Amino acid sequence: MSTSVKFDRSMIAPCGMNCGTCIAYLRDKNKCCGCCPDSGFKPNHCAQCRIKNCDLLEKTTSKFCYDCEKFPCQRLKQLDKRYRTKYKTSFIQNLLTIKETGITNFLAFESKRRTCPNCGSIVSVHRDNCQTCNYELN
Ligand code: SF4
Ligand code: SF4
Ligand SMILES: [Zn+2]
């Protein structure tokens, strides 16, 4: 199945999370608008996120944590560890990929790895199976 790019820059949070793959973004009810947009519904833990609201982030050119003098700070390392352990995804690696290969390449990479090989739907980073066809990913 061919894969087209399904995400855009506005979906990628400063920490390296692809909000386009978040279960809160993909659901129909109480859908989150994603980290980057300033208006729209977000759950409290993301509306009050200490990374998104970090003073040092504001000073960066790219608005990604990789541009920060403290990268990777303790806060980011903790989040990275949680996602590596629970969801087999490293935000620090995501950020380094964006820094080294560019956002367009990263979006294409994300589209490839988050597309269900069976039905072509987006598979959430928070799930091991496709929510549309139930295909199990390894
Ligand atoms: S809940 Fe948080 S991580 Fe998920 S889409 Fe919203 S801002 Fe992004
Ligand atoms: S890496 Fe820098 S910009 Fe990102 S949360 Fe840490 S201190 Fe803030
Ligand atoms: Zn599927």
pTM assigned to the model: 0.95
Asked if residue 71 has its Cβ within 6 Å of ligand 2, the reply is yes
- Say if 125 falls within a structural domain: no
In tens, the pLDDT along 26-83 reads: 999 999 999 999 889 999 999 999 999 999 999 999 999 999 999 999 999 999 999 9
Question: What's the total number of domains in the chain?
Answer: 1
State the residue range of the domain holding 107. 14-113
In a domain, 120, yes or no: no
Distance 78 CA to ligand 2 centre (A): 12
What is the tens place of the pLDDT at every residue in 82-125?
Answer: 999 999 999 999 999 999 999 999 999 999 999 999 999 999 99
CA distances from 75 to 46, 51, 78, 116 (A): 14, 8, 5, 31
* Nearest Cα residue to atom 4 of ligand 2: 65
